[in-house]
Amino acid sequence: MADLEIEVCGIKMKNPVMPAAGTLVRDLDSMRKVASSGVGAMVTKTVSTEAARDPLPNLAQVDRAFFNCELWGEISPEIWVNQVLPQARELGLPLIVSLGYTSQQIDELAPRVKAYADAVELSTHYLGDDLALLIEPIKVARRHLDVPIWVKVSPNIADVKAMAIAAEKAGADAIVAINSLGPTLSIDVERVLPRLGSPTGYGWLSGPALKPLAVRYVYEISQSVEIPVIGVGGISRGTDVVEMMMAGASAVQLLTAAILNGVETYTRVIQGLESFLDQHGYSSASDIVGLFHRVGRIRYTSPPLIDQEKCNLCRLCVKSCAYDALAIVGDQLVVDPEKCDICGLCQTRCPRDAISFQYQLLPCCNERTLK
């Protein structure tokens, strides 16, 4: 069996899967429940200088998207420091305390939580993309803390590489990428009402729709800095963890899938990761970190090849072929090479892995890898 143990910033975890800061880690009881699922470390909901009063309603699912307008932790910093964090230390997991947001707030909070934190995660969710506003809280936290400082970044940042480099120079020990995307708006057309209760109806997007953006951020950030990256966004399966780690993440966090499907999601994701590693001959989770960095760009070179034994003539590929290059003839799926644009969509639509392409790898465009 593959070894799932990993180490991030000197913190040893039995596996690379953690909760992300949010609803499921809002208090001690919820953290105990998540801990029972087998996660490798515990992350708290964001602690700030006062208890949040969330709009109601503040969570909604629409198709494959999940929206929230939650704020930070709903309990006061006094309760966090005097009650929750001391007992959370007894869960037997590394404890990452999420703090927000401004340098003034971090200046007040960091000294109060330092006795309980194996690492502190600074949320930049409400700070915009002004690098000064992002960097100053790191410097303030560093003055107070001798534990690792993780910085959780927003996908709204314009220049993610510049941000990551600046955060590293300011003293960050890891980058957590990414937070939810927004603001976004979802409307209930039957009631002509917003689905969320914020003053504007706006919220923040997470769930599967966010994953491709999160993977890209993890990839870019891990190419730009020497410190570890923790991948967050849209993870719901073991192979999602694999994708994040191949893109450069040393560990991952997830929340939305566990909100929607229960905390046993963490157990299932961890088991899925282990199964993938075993089936593909990897001896440890650390073996796959950054594997994608060494891969060149791909180019398909010919129309698709059809495995007729696997194909069940479901017609999904035929329906979605914008070039009318696919058709069912008798009991076989056939390709018209004159019409085929080699766009690749049919392969991603096939539920039975019956469609494949010949391809060539072009030189890697990753300058850092080439060095």
pLDDT tens digits for 182-205? Answer: 999 999 999 999 999 999 999 999
Residue 295 has pLDDT above 90, yes or no: no
Give the sheet arrangement for strand 181-185, strand by strand. 59-62, 65-68, 202-206, 181-185
Record the tokens describing residue 195, joined without a space: 């689905």
Residue 228 has pLDDT above 60, yes or no: yes
Query: Residues 130, 135, 137, 139: what is their CA dihedral angle, to the nearest 10 degrees?
Result: -160
Instruction: Answer yes or no: are the C-beta atoms of 40 and 15 closer than 8 Å.
Output: yes
Residue 233 has pLDDT above 70, yes or no: yes
In the numeric block, the tokens 């080699």 are attached to: 342
Residue 240 has pLDDT above 70, yes or no: yes
Record the tokens describing residue 83, joined without a space: 């009650």
For residue 110, the number of C-alpha atoms closer than 13 Å in the C-beta half-sphere is: 26
Residue 369 has pLDDT above 50, yes or no: no
The SS3 assignment for 263 reads coil
User: What is the rounded average pLDDT for all residues in the chain?
Assistant: 95
Record the tokens describing residue 29, joined without a space: 């009881």
Beta partners for 202? Answer: 185
pLDDT at 243: 98
Please state the domain extents for the chain. Answer: 6-294, 298-370
* Architecture of the domain defined by 6-294: Alpha-Beta Barrel (3.20)
Per residue in 248-270, pLDDT tens? Answer: 999 999 999 999 999 999 999 99
Residue 153 has pLDDT above 70, yes or no: yes
Non-local (6+) Cβ contacts of 224 within 8 A are 160, 161, 164, 165
Residue 6 has pLDDT above 60, yes or no: yes
pTM, entire model: 0.95
For residue 195, the number of C-alpha atoms closer than 13 Å in the C-beta half-sphere is: 19
Instruction: Answer yes or no: are the C-beta atoms of 179 and 134 closer than 8 Å.
Output: no
Instruction: Name the more confident of 362 and 314.
Output: 314
Residue 129 has pLDDT above 90, yes or no: no
pLDDT at 134: 87
Q: Residue 366 — very low, low, confident or very high, per pLDDT cuts 50/70/90?
A: low
Q: Residue 370 — very low, low, confident or very high, per pLDDT cuts 50/70/90?
A: very low
Q: What percent of the chain has pLDDT over 70?
A: 98
What's the whole-number mean pLDDT along residues 216-229? 97
Residue 29 has pLDDT above 80, yes or no: yes
Q: Enter the CATH code of domain 298-370.
A: 3.30.70.20
Residue 176 has pLDDT above 80, yes or no: yes
Instruction: Answer yes or no: are the C-beta atoms of 300 and 358 closer than 8 Å.
Output: yes
Record the tokens describing residue 199, joined without a space: 């003053």
Q: Burial-class residue 138 by CB neighbours within 10 Å (0-12, 13-18, 19+).
A: buried
**Burial readout 213-224 (b: 16 or more C-beta within 10 A, e: otherwise):** bbbbbbbbbbbb
What's the whole-number mean pLDDT along residues 230-240? 98
